[in-house]
A and B are shown apart, each in its own frame.
Chain A
Amino acid sequence: MSSIDYRAELARAGANVEGRWSAIRFFARRYPLGAVGAMIMAVFLFAAFFAPLITVYDPLTTNSALSLARPSAAHWLGCDFMGRDVYSRIVYGARISLAVGCGSMSLGVSIGVLIGLLSGYLGGWIDLAAQRLIDILQSLPLLVMALLMAASLGPSLHNTIIAISIPLIPYSARVVRATTLSLREQPFVESAKAIGMSELRIALRHILPNTLAPLIVLATAQFGSTILTEATLSFLGLGIPEPHPSWGRMLSESAAEYVRTAPWLVIFPGLAISFVVFGTNLLGDALRDILDPRQRS
């Protein structure tokens, strides 16, 4: 059961469309910024999945002869201090960003959905306890919470994903709780109860799908912020450890020195981060306009 009815949206807009492709074309015309965002995300996903096909050099192979080599025909974006090809490292870095983005987002959203659903549907003391937990998690800025988590867990890919997912929990928990509260009183939930459906089945089968639209909007927005947070943690030396080609790590503190000597080491990884986060933000805005009519501008 899907609660997102694109056809209604299309019909209301007067789009006379048949089939998936013309629907996509319609959305692209109506939300040009969203289409740009989707294209940026496609490039990002392509780079992450097909990294070995579009690079020549290994991202981890060091070569002292090429230390701090300027951008050239052989090494488009130059080489870093250890003589590793910056272009390869950026392309392979997309994999790290994708892993952290998907990992933290799905972990944070799943836990948040669980808490929100339990708290909104069951109410009572569970709701009270969940509300306090959310208040506590939200009383620290995202980055400070992630810093604390990362420092306590130690630097590794897994720990970074966990560290970033924890501060995300409150947002999805709040969204799901609010939606669940309003759905709980709906006639279709009462009828489900009347025909003897179990509480768990009602929650999963009837409530959860209806919270999907705001969740998708939230998850897209959070995808961008997880990538930014990972970059920041790695930049501060508390995220992904060497030798993984993380974009933030490539910009780590020595970057202040490269500002003078090797600006290409500073410009390109930062561009990659900004580009991808910009893409998710554009896409997120368009999805919000499409899926959440109250917010429509």
Chain B
Amino acid sequence: MGSYLVRRFGLMLLTLFGISVIIFLMLRLAPGNIADILFDAAGFVDPAEKAKIMEDLGLDKPLPVQYAQWIGGLLQGDLGYSYVSDRPAIREILPRIPITARVGGLALCFAVLIGVPLGVISAVKQNTRLDYILRVLSLSGLSMPAFWLGLLVLMGFVSYFGTIPIYTDAPQSFWAALGMYSIPAAVVGFRSSALMTRLTRSSMLEVLRQDYIRTARSKGASENVVNYHHALKNAVLPVVTVIGIEAAFLMGGLIVTETVFNIPGVARFLVEAIRWRDYPIVQNLVMYIAIIVVFINFTVDMLYAALDPRIKYSG
């Protein structure tokens, strides 16, 4: 276990190094840097002034130097300056994180509270009308683009209240925040709950086919005891392991939903920064997302090894 942990940790660092190189190169290979964009917008080109801007932004240095500077800064908490606002990137990013974290956290609650029970019901009632309805519902949830669902909710708001919710001002109280963020969170969570339902259903079905379930039945355990005592406990473990997938899925939902609802969170900020080619913001945000995803997967792997006694890892 110990050596497995060390090896797995080493691989995690290697993956993060790889992704940092890819993120860095992708943004540098992009046609047109911030200096070009600023000058296109201004409508004139003075080569000397452009060179000055490139120098100020560090864009004239060789790529390895730029990369080393970025990673060095990242490790010390210095994320560079936003090209667009000319403020430290960390001051742009930090205040937006709590907003996205709230919406994302609420969405995850929705997804788990709705998705897991529905998945269990669907599996227990396999091939009944209820199962078919739940399967079609979860599949249609997954088939709907997240931004369209958001637009439909906005449309509902317009027809019932004549207005759409506005997210530019920070909410005053906890309950105000809960009320405000629960709408977009429900939109994000609905799709994630559909994914949850499907994963729980297949995991539960897998378990229900095991021999020990047949044994439990044959010794006369009631249907409820079999389903909820014997099966559910074992079915939930694999569902926990896909939290990494779930988090990545949630992230996609947050990006478009924050854009549709005009929520000043960090996910919408990423899209804006990409449009503006604001490298310091984009590369740091994407790197953070990668760190979160990789770390979640690492933690889940460790948890899985710790929780499931059947799994023994050799170094």
Bitwise interface map of B from 276 to 311 toward A, beta carbon under 8 Å scored 1, else 0? 010000100010011001100100000000000000
Q: Dominant SS at the A interface?
A: helix
Q: A228 CA to B255 CA in the complex, in Å?
A: 14
**Distance (whole angstroms) from the CB of B126 to the closest CB of chain A:** 7
User: Contacts A132-B15, A136-B18: A154 and B30 contacting too (C-beta < 8 A)?
Assistant: yes
Q: Is the CB of B30 within 8 A of A152?
A: yes
Residue A147 lies at the interface, judged by CB distance under 8 Å to chain B: yes
Residue B14 lies at the interface, judged by CB distance under 8 Å to chain A: yes
B32 to A, closest residue via Cβ: A154
A248 to B, closest residue via Cβ: B145
Q: Is the CB of A235 within 8 A of B139?
A: no
Number of interface residues of B (CB under 8 A): 56
B155 to A, closest residue via Cβ: A259
Q: Is the CB of A140 within 8 A of B293?
A: yes
Bitwise interface map of B from 142 to 153 toward A, beta carbon under 8 Å scored 1, else 0? 111111100110
Q: Is the CB of A142 within 8 A of B290?
A: no
**Distance (whole angstroms) from the CB of A246 to the closest CB of chain B:** 12
Number of interface residues of A (CB under 8 A): 47
Q: Is the CB of A154 within 8 A of B31?
A: yes
User: Contacts A132-B14, A139-B293, A152-B26: A235 and B145 contacting too (C-beta < 8 A)?
Assistant: yes
In the assembled complex, which residues on chain A have CB atoms less than 8 Å from the CB atom of B277? 151
Q: Is the CB of B286 within 8 A of A149?
A: no
Q: A281 CA to B138 CA in the complex, in Å?
A: 11
Q: A267 CA to B149 CA in the complex, in Å?
A: 10
In the assembled complex, which residues on chain B have CB atoms less than 8 Å from the CB atom of A255? 151
Q: Is the CB of B145 within 8 A of A135?
A: no
Residue B140 lies at the interface, judged by CB distance under 8 Å to chain A: yes
User: Contacts A232-B146, A256-B154: A278 and B293 contacting too (C-beta < 8 A)?
Assistant: no
From residue 1 to 48 of chain B, which have CB atoms closer than 8 A to chain A?
11, 14-16, 18-19, 22-23, 26-27, 29-31
Residue A273 lies at the interface, judged by CB distance under 8 Å to chain B: yes
Residue B252 lies at the interface, judged by CB distance under 8 Å to chain A: yes
A33 contact from B136, B142, B145, Cβ within 8 A = B136
Q: Dominant SS at the B interface?
A: helix
Q: Is the CB of A141 within 8 A of B252?
A: yes
User: Contacts A139-B16, A142-B248: A251 and B143 contacting too (C-beta < 8 A)?
Assistant: no
Residue A282 lies at the interface, judged by CB distance under 8 Å to chain B: yes
In the assembled complex, which residues on chain A have CB atoms less than 8 Å from the CB atom of B148? 251, 266, 270, 273-274
Residue A195 lies at the interface, judged by CB distance under 8 Å to chain B: no
A235 to B, closest residue via Cβ: B147
User: Contacts A144-B289, A232-B145: A256 and B256 contacting too (C-beta < 8 A)?
Assistant: no
Q: A144 CA to B289 CA in the complex, in Å?
A: 9
From residue 253 to 287 of chain A, which have CB atoms closer than 8 A to chain B?
253, 255-256, 259-260, 263, 266-267, 270, 273-275, 277-278, 281-282, 285
**Distance (whole angstroms) from the CB of B22 to the closest CB of chain A:** 7
Q: Is the CB of B139 within 8 A of A297?
A: no
In the assembled complex, which residues on chain A have CB atoms less than 8 Å from the CB atom of B132? 33
Residue A191 lies at the interface, judged by CB distance under 8 Å to chain B: no
Q: Is the CB of A143 within 8 A of B143?
A: no
A148 contact from B16, B23, B259, Cβ within 8 A = B23
Residue B274 lies at the interface, judged by CB distance under 8 Å to chain A: yes
Q: Is the CB of A151 within 8 A of B19?
A: no
Residue B69 lies at the interface, judged by CB distance under 8 Å to chain A: no
In the assembled complex, which residues on chain B have CB atoms less than 8 Å from the CB atom of A236? 255-256, 259, 271
Q: Is the CB of A237 within 8 A of B135?
A: no
**Distance (whole angstroms) from the CB of B147 to the closest CB of chain A:** 5
Bitwise interface map of A from 106 to 142 toward B, beta carbon under 8 Å scored 1, else 0? 0000000000000000000000000011011001111
**Distance (whole angstroms) from the CB of B25 to the closest CB of chain A:** 9
User: Contacts A132-B14, A144-B289: A277 and B143 contacting too (C-beta < 8 A)?
Assistant: yes
In the assembled complex, which residues on chain B have CB atoms less than 8 Å from the CB atom of A135? 11, 15, 18
Q: Is the CB of A297 within 8 A of B26?
A: no
Q: Is the CB of B145 within 8 A of A231?
A: yes
In the assembled complex, which residues on chain B have CB atoms less than 8 Å from the CB atom of A136? 15, 18-19, 22
Q: Is the CB of A270 within 8 A of B15?
A: no
B252 contact from A232, A256, A270, Cβ within 8 A = A232
Chain A residues with a Cβ under 8 A of chain B: 33, 132-133, 135-136, 139-144, 147-149, 151-154, 224, 228, 231-232, 235-238, 248, 251, 253, 255-256, 259-260, 263, 266-267, 270, 273-275, 277-278, 281-282, 285, 295, 297
Question: What are 22 A-B contacts defined by CB distance under 8 Å?
Answer: A33-B135, A33-B136, A132-B15, A133-B18, A136-B19, A136-B22, A141-B249, A148-B27, A148-B274, A148-B282, A153-B30, A232-B145, A232-B256, A235-B145, A238-B274, A259-B154, A266-B152, A267-B152, A277-B143, A277-B145, A285-B135, A297-B126
Known: A141-B252, A256-B260. 9 other contacts (CB 8 A): A136-B19, A141-B251, A143-B251, A148-B274, A152-B30, A237-B275, A274-B145, A277-B142, A297-B202
